[in-house]
Structure 1
Amino acid sequence: MPLPTPRFHEDARIGQLYLERAAEVSEEACRYAAEHRIRPAREDRVRIAAFGIDVQVAFCTPGASLFVPGAVEDTQRTLRWLYANLERVTELVFSLDTHRAFQIFHPAWWQDVGGRPPPPLTPITAEDIRAGRWRPTRHPEESLAYCERLESNGKYILTVWPFHALLGGLSHPLVPAMYEASLFHALARDTPTWFELKGEHPLTENYSVLSPEVTEVRGQKVGEFNARLFEHLMSFDRVYVFGQAKSHCVLSTLMDLRQHIERTDPSKMGRVCILEDAMSSVPAPPLEPLPPSLDFPRVADEALREFQKAGMRVVRTTDPLEP
């Protein structure tokens, strides 16, 4: 039987900003654990991780600069799933997209010939820089080298995003309802939550939780594959993945997981379970004709089918956890 939701939880507040109710959550965790005889996570025979990618105010709260349509409903379904399966979920792992004003994908890094910053969602290519259409406000040689390296990878070109997930700002933390769930889980199951910051280096983008888009610029190391997190995730019998956005950070993280599982131990591919109704894609931009690479929902859906063919499991929050 699924467990009930705790008393403090209010489904209608999931899309709202409010101060976390730590004292109330703590009291409820003690009562709930006693009433439902919740065992400590360290006693789990089958170890399950719930891996939340960027479940932050920046992406999941209406009004935030990079709000993903559908994210509130995704969070609602995720929390119902988490509370119902609390005694089975061993650990919560959350990534936190973490930025500052001056990073290569933010408007303050660039200006046109008139000194104006680019509007959000502006693509900037190496040719744009060489032609003077966009000029870096800092690190000019490294900025050009970055775009050249990024384009040579054939995955993305640089996109200017609105300021988001700024460290110290209100868009950076987990959405309050998810943070309360993480605290409740930690206290009820007597185990800490794992938080992983990503995206802090100013000279690279970091869609994937596991690795930046570029790791070296003009001989300068700007990032590396996060082997510590990968090994931690692979220590679990199952890893349920959810978060935002399906078409960007979730997709890139799953691509990294697939590649490194294939390189290390393909038998572990089935450990990754993708909660498909707990993530949403960035809408396609209103372009006519729409370039296939910018049809973000289509790209994400096709990728999920490929992950499934590779051996990952695509599941829903309403599916029962396997024994």
Structure 2
Amino acid sequence: MPLPLPEFHDDKRVGTLYLERAALVTEAARRYAVAHQVKPAREDSLRIAAFGIDVQVAFCQPEASLFVPGAVEDTQRTLRWLYANLDRITGLVFSLDTHRVFQVFHPAWWQDAEGRPPAPMTPITAADIRAGKWRATRHPEESLAYCERLEAAGKYILTVWPYHALLGGLSHALLPAMMEASLFHAVARDTQTRFEVKGEEPLTENYSVLSPEVTELPGRKVGEFNQELFDHLLTFDRVYVFGQAKSHCVLSTLMDLKQHIEATDRSKMGRIHILEDAMSPVPAPPLDPLPPGLDFPRVANEAMRTFREAGMKVVRTTDSLDG
């Protein structure tokens, strides 16, 4: 039987900012564990991870600069799922997209011929840079090389994003309602939540939690595959994936999982469960014609088919864990 929602949880507050109520939530968790006979996570015979990708204010709060439409409802469904299955979810893993002002995908990195920064959602290609349409305000050679290598990979072209998930700012934080769920789970199941910081390297985008889009530039290493996190996730019998955005950070993380499972042990592909109703794509930018790579909803839906065909399970938060 699904467990009931804790008394402090309010769906209407999911998309709002407030200070997490650590004392109230953890005390409620202690009482809840006793009342519902919730055992410590270390006693689980079937080990299940809930892997939340960038469930942060930056993407899930409507006033944030990079809010993903649908993220509030996604998070509401996710929280109902987390609480209902609290006694069976062994571990929580959350990524935290983490940025500063001067990064290759932020406006301050680029200028046009008049010294003006690009507007958010502006695509910048290697051809644009070579033609003088845009120039980097720092590391010009590496910035051109980055765009060339990004385009050669065939997944994305460089997109200038609004300033988001800035270290030290409110948008960097886990959404308060999700933070309370992590506190509640930690105390009720007597286990620590795991947080993974990503995205601090200025010369690469880092959609995937497991690796940046580009790992090397001429004379400079800018990232590597997070083998330790990959190994940790695959210690679980199931990994349920949710978060934002379906077209970017979730998609890239799932792609990395797929490729590395294929390279190591294909029999583990079925451990990955994608909570499809707990994620939404970034809307396509208003460009005409719209480059196929910027039709983000289409990109996301095609990727889901690829993951399903590879053997990952595409499920919903309303599906039983016994299904």
The aligned counterpart of 1:23 is 23
TM-score, structure 2 normalization: 0.98
> Which contiguous aligned blocks of 4+ residues in structure 1 show a shift greater than 6 angstroms?
none
Output the amino acid matched with 1:44: D
1:77-116 Cα deviation digits (max 9, x unpaired): 0000000000000000000000000000000001111111
Report how many aligned residue pairs link the two structures: 323
**For 2:16 and 2:164, how far apart are their aligned partners in 1?**
17
CA RMSD of aligned residues (A): 0.9
Q: CA deviation at 1:288?
A: 3.2
- Give the secondary structure class of the aligned counterpart of 1:6: coil
The aligned counterpart of 2:184 is 184
**For 2:288 and 2:122, how far apart are their aligned partners in 1?**
16
**For 2:303 and 2:87, how far apart are their aligned partners in 1?**
31
Instruction: For 1:224-243, list aligned pairs within 5 A.
Output: 224-243=224-243
Q: CA deviation at 1:322?
A: 2.2
The aligned counterpart of 2:221 is 221
Tell me whether 149-158 or 221-230 shows the greater mean CA deviation.
Answer: 149-158
The aligned counterpart of 2:196 is 196
8 Å Cα contact 2:54/2:244 also seen in 1: yes
8 Å Cα contact 2:121/2:285 also seen in 1: no
**Is 1:150 matched up with 2:128?**
no
The aligned counterpart of 2:104 is 104
**For 2:283 and 2:109, how far apart are their aligned partners in 1?**
25
The aligned counterpart of 2:73 is 73
Output the amino acid matched with 2:67: F
Q: CA deviation at 1:39?
A: 0.3
Output the amino acid matched with 2:115: G
**For 2:116 and 2:305, how far apart are their aligned partners in 1?**
42
The aligned counterpart of 1:118 is 118
Q: CA deviation at 1:224?
A: 0.2
- Give the secondary structure class of the aligned counterpart of 1:299: helix
Tell me whether 131-140 or 40-49 shows the greater mean CA deviation.
Answer: 131-140
Q: CA deviation at 1:289?
A: 3.5
**For 2:216 and 2:299, how far apart are their aligned partners in 1?**
27
**For 2:162 and 2:285, how far apart are their aligned partners in 1?**
15
Instruction: For 1:19-98, list aligned pairs within 5 A.
Output: 19-98=19-98
The aligned counterpart of 1:283 is 283
The aligned counterpart of 2:311 is 311
TM-score, structure 1 normalization: 0.98
Q: CA deviation at 1:51?
A: 0.2
**For 1:232 and 1:48, how far apart are their aligned partners in 2?**
12
**For 2:274 and 2:145, how far apart are their aligned partners in 1?**
35
Name stretches of at least 5 consecutive residues in structure 1 with no aligned partner. Answer: none
1:16-73 Cα deviation digits (max 9, x unpaired): 0000000100110111011001100000000000000000000000010000000000
- Give the secondary structure class of the aligned counterpart of 1:163: coil
**For 2:247 and 2:174, how far apart are their aligned partners in 1?**
19
**For 1:28 and 1:152, how far apart are their aligned partners in 2?**
52
The aligned counterpart of 2:320 is 320
Q: CA deviation at 1:263?
A: 0.2
Instruction: For 1:133-172, list aligned pairs within 5 A.
Output: 133-172=133-172
Output the amino acid matched with 1:188: A
User: Using a 3 Å threshold, how does the CA distance of structure 1 residues 210 and 80 change in structure 2: closer, same or farther?
Assistant: same
**For 1:148 and 1:286, how far apart are their aligned partners in 2?**
24
**Is 1:208 matched up with 2:208?**
yes
1:205-255 Cα deviation digits (max 9, x unpaired): 001111100001112110000000000000100000000000111001100
8 Å Cα contact 2:155/2:293 also seen in 1: no
Name stretches of at least 5 consecutive residues in structure 2 with no aligned partner. Answer: none
8 Å Cα contact 2:51/2:92 also seen in 1: yes
